[in-house]
Amino acid sequence: MVSVEAKNATDEQPGQPGDPCVMVIFGAAGDLTKRKLIPALYNLAKSNLLSKEFAVVGFARAGMSTEEFREKMSREIREFATDQVEPGLWEWFTQRLHYMKGDFNDPNAYRKLGNLLAQVDKEHGTRGNYFYYLATSPSYFSEIVRQLGEAGLAQEENGRWRRVIIEKPFGRDLDSARALNREISKVLTESQIYRIDHYLGKETVQNILVFRFANGIFEPIWNRRYIDHVQISVAEGIGVEQRGGYYEEAGTLRDMVPNHMFQLLTLTAMEPPISFEANAVRDEQAKVLRAIQPLTPEEVLTRTVRGQYGEGTIAGKRVPAYRFELNVAPDSTTETFVALKLSVDNWRWADVPFYLRTGKRLPKRVTEIAIQFKRAPFILFRKTPVDRLTPNLLVLTIQPDEGISMRFGAKVPGPILRLGSVNMAFQYKDYFGSTPSTGYERLLYDCMMGDATLFQRADMVEAGWSVVAPILDVWKALPPRSFPNYPAGSWGPREAEELMERGGRQWREMEK
């Protein structure tokens, strides 16, 4: 049953619509546009969070007319909408879709884009506000920004704003991330740059902050005096699917750790910010990243584990080894699994290890942060039949069964004192129902509102790459010899267990 408090918590708080603006999507013929961006914009329109003065300009190399683009989106929304599509609203929305064909490095195309934007702006009353979404291959990021600058399309004046959203991956190591930051800052100020990490669009990730800072009872124990260690797991059942080409270049470390996993880590470990203003929150996240001790080459050998899946069975289905996936070399040394033990060297977290693991083709999809508290002293139960006391565990499940659970010891009913472990669990859907969303709504809306809290700042991206840099270096110098080293459908290589065992700990079982 839904309690009164829960009902109050779900009372609608209508927000104000985003600023009037045009969103230009570079790479509009690609996957992201149809799967996430258009469905997210539609959801915003449905929630009255999209200005009535709004338009989209799709820009890509594919030859297509505006009419064809509208038809394509109308076909695809049927597949990718997260909720029922209302014909009237969709019709209103499609009237705001425009398209132009162009090469990302052709100055002429940007001149044409400028003309089209002026026309669209006039037609839809968008007040000269434009934001550009770079949904292209990363190799075009700095070129597109440079061209926008040259064409005068990035300049803010007379109260008109210009912003750029950049997809991941932002660089492929520290040097390339720095170079990209340098290039784009020749054209844009930091406040115009929105580096996206779609993990920050997830409700449950945003809720980490609310959970920590809107509740008085957790913060006093959120430190080294009470916490034994933290485990952050991002497990995926899927393999590399059609992305073998990209994955061969990236590997799991680059693909997941400096971005998604570090978002989870920083939100868990950061100090309370002085406000929820963008820079206040990001300052605290950046401090955590800077406090993570870079691993020495010796530590890379003892505190990191890499793996690659061989063939195996997932959910009763045989699946091929990574080396047999499309566009993957038959002797590939690319990792599909990573486990790390990191230390955040500050007063709050000294000596509290943060264990991270992520991989493809694990038994199931689950993302969670598990905070294991120190054991209670045994003294009181010495003379009772208790082998050991299970430590308290707080688990924040990010996906797919969003919720929070707390494990604690309880007396098993009966004439003798026996202890059992029980769980107190909260599930989002029980209280709030499920709100269908793509995860991009909030991020797009925030960009329209000029709120960069949930986007990465230049120094954060660089700090993240600095942490993984020594690992990339050692791994490159010492190619793995035992790949594949875990069967698809298992929890990763044996070494990942050993990493935990060396600290007298173990990974949380996530079978259920």
- Detail the residues annotated as belonging to a binding site for NADP(+): 61, 103-104, 168
Q: Which is nearer to ligand BG6, 19 or 441 (CB)?
A: 441
Q: Among residues 304, 232, 221, 227, which one has the least CA distance to residue 265?
A: 232
Is 265 within 8 Å of 353 (Cβ atoms)?
A: no
Q: Taking the CB of residue 267, how many other CB atoms lie within 10 A of it?
A: 23
Is 305 within 8 Å of 501 (Cβ atoms)?
A: no
- Burial class, 439, CB count within 10 angstroms (exposed 0-12 / middle 13-18 / buried 19+): middle
Amino acid, res. 469: A
* 191 vs 232: CA distance, rounded Å: 31
- Burial class, 359, CB count within 10 angstroms (exposed 0-12 / middle 13-18 / buried 19+): buried
Q: Which is nearer to ligand BG6, 352 or 488 (CB)?
A: 488
- Strand 162-166 relative to strand 130-134: parallel, antiparallel, unpaired? parallel
**In the window 214-273, what residues touch ligand BG6 (CB under 6 A)?**
236, 255
Is 194 within 8 Å of 486 (Cβ atoms)?
A: no
* 467 vs 194: CA distance, rounded Å: 22
Q: Which is nearer to ligand BG6, 228 or 236 (CB)?
A: 236
Q: Among residues 120, 99, 87, 115, which one has the least CA distance to residue 20?
A: 120
Least gap, CB of 264 to ligand BG6 (angstroms):
11
Q: Where are the alpha helices (DSSP H) in 379-457?
A: 428-432, 441-449
**In the window 474-503, what residues touch ligand BG6 (CB under 6 A)?**
none
Q: Examine residue 368 and tell whether it contacts ligand BG6 (CB under 6 A).
A: no
DSSP class of residue 451 equals -
Least gap, CB of 239 to ligand BG6 (angstroms):
10
Residue numbering of the annotated binding site = 61, 103-104, 168, 198, 202, 236, 255, 360
Q: Which is nearer to ligand BG6, 364 or 418 (CB)?
A: 364
Residue numbering of the annotated binding site for substrate = 198, 202, 236, 255, 360
Least gap, CB of 476 to ligand BG6 (angstroms):
20
Residue nearest ligand BG6, Cβ-based: 255
Q: Among residues 255, 244, 253, 148, which one has the least CA distance to residue 193?
A: 148
Binding mask 160-199 for ligand BG6 (x = CB under 6 A): --------x-------------------------------
Least gap, CB of 435 to ligand BG6 (angstroms):
16
Least gap, CB of 185 to ligand BG6 (angstroms):
24
Q: Which is nearer to ligand BG6, 246 or 381 (CB)?
A: 246
Number of residues that bind ligand BG6 (CB under 6 A): 4
> Which is the catalytic residue, given 98, 124, 229, 260?
260
Establish whether 124 is a catalytic residue. Answer: no
> Interface residues with ligand BG6 (CB under 6 A)?
168, 236, 255, 367
By annotation, the residues acting in catalysis are 260
